[in-house]
Amino acid sequence: MFSAIRSHMVANAARVLKKPVQFLPQRLQSKVLLEALQQVFHEALEDGDFEFLQDRWLKVEISDLNLSWMISFQDDKLIVSDGSQTEDASFSGCLNDLILIAGRKEDPDTLFFQRRLKIEGDTELGLEVKNLMDSIDLDSLPKPLTYALMQLAEFVQKGLQPQESQKQITTA
């Protein structure tokens, strides 16, 4: 019973969240995203690992929520813009797949080859971003954030599994 509810919640999460997030002002979205990026990439920013993004624009899109942001690196800091720039590369995927990537439950390469993650534009820039994402040490994040991310990714992963395989897992 719980697995059916979880599957329903995961399958409909984007549809339920789409309207409310559209009402969030772009400025607030950008501020929250920038804070999260600075937290997650704290070490990479200190080490200068974002120089490849200097004066270039990466578009990040959550396709099923109709959300997108433009990210760049200027004056030794990340910036998030309103989207009036032209992107050099773009990453897009659905909400559930991006959660799975963030929680290390799915490999970005696998999703790319399954056409669930789209990387377009400057290939070299796209690979740099993907490699940077792969290098994130989840243990360097605050424990509550890591725990919440891992629990959410686990929830989504189990919610995406077919009902039969969930029954086999619980009876094994």
Confidence at residue 163, expressed as pLDDT on a 0 to 100 scale: 56
Kindly give the parts of the chain with pLDDT less than 50: 164, 166, 168, 170-172
Helix (H) or strand (E) holding 59: strand 58-62
pLDDT tens column, 76-113: 899 998 778 899 999 899 999 999 998 999 998 899 89
Do 156 and 3 contact (CB within 8 A), yes or no?
A: no
Quick one: pLDDT at residue 57? 95
Both tokens of 7, joined, read 């599957």
What's at 87, amino acid-wise? E
Return the ∠ at Cα 79 (arms to 78 and 81), rounded to 5°.
Answer: 155
pLDDT given for residue 145 in this prediction: 85
Catalogue all structural domains in the chain, each as residue range(s) with its CATH number: 1-158 (3.30.1050.10)
pTM, full prediction: 0.84
Q: How are strands ordered across the β-sheet holding 67-74?
A: 77-81, 67-74, 58-62, 89-93, 117-121
